[in-house]
Amino acid sequence: MMLNTRNLTWFFRLSGFLCLSLGACQNDDIPDGPQFAGPQDRGLVANALITEASGLAVSRSNTSLLWTHNDSGDPARLFLLTNTGEDRGIYTSRMPKIRIGKT
């Protein structure tokens, strides 16, 4: 099968035109959004049971306290910390341990 150079020329011209057209249509305006500061060292996590913290959540009742939990394989429990990393307690759930895989 022989390629038709006329069709290839048309294809590449159209492709170039589309690329230039789409490039000219881009929006350079970046909307204003919340500004975040960089990371801050606030302290070290004092509880040795927290080996692989997975996320932090600020307490609703006291904004100087944080909740965290370990990644999978850990019992169903939450750790309470101050915003400087001091241990304030552990909440253990009565939920059964969930395992993925063999039953």
Q: Tell me the domain boundaries of the chain.
A: 53-92
Q: How far apart are CA 79 and CA 46, in angstroms?
A: 11
State the pLDDT at residue 60: 93
Tell me the whole-structure pTM to 2 decimals: 0.56
State the pLDDT at residue 57: 93
Q: Are 69 and 56 in contact (CB under 8 A)?
A: no
Residue 5: strand, helix, or coil:
helix
Does the pLDDT at position 100 exceed 70? Answer: no
The pLDDT > 90 percentage for the chain reads 32
pLDDT in tens, 32-67: 777 778 888 888 999 999 998 888 899 999 999 999
DSSP-derived secondary structure for 19-79: HHHHHHT---PPPP---------------TT-SSEEEEEE-SS-TTEEEEEE-TTS-SEEE
Average pLDDT value over all residues in the chain: 83
6 membership: H or E segment, kind and range: helix 5-24
Q: Would you place residue 96 in the very low, low, confident or very high pLDDT band (cuts 50, 70, 90)?
A: low
* Interstrand relation of 87-92 and 53-58 (parallel, antiparallel or unpaired): unpaired
Quote the tokens at residue 28.
């350079």
Mean pLDDT of 5-14: 83
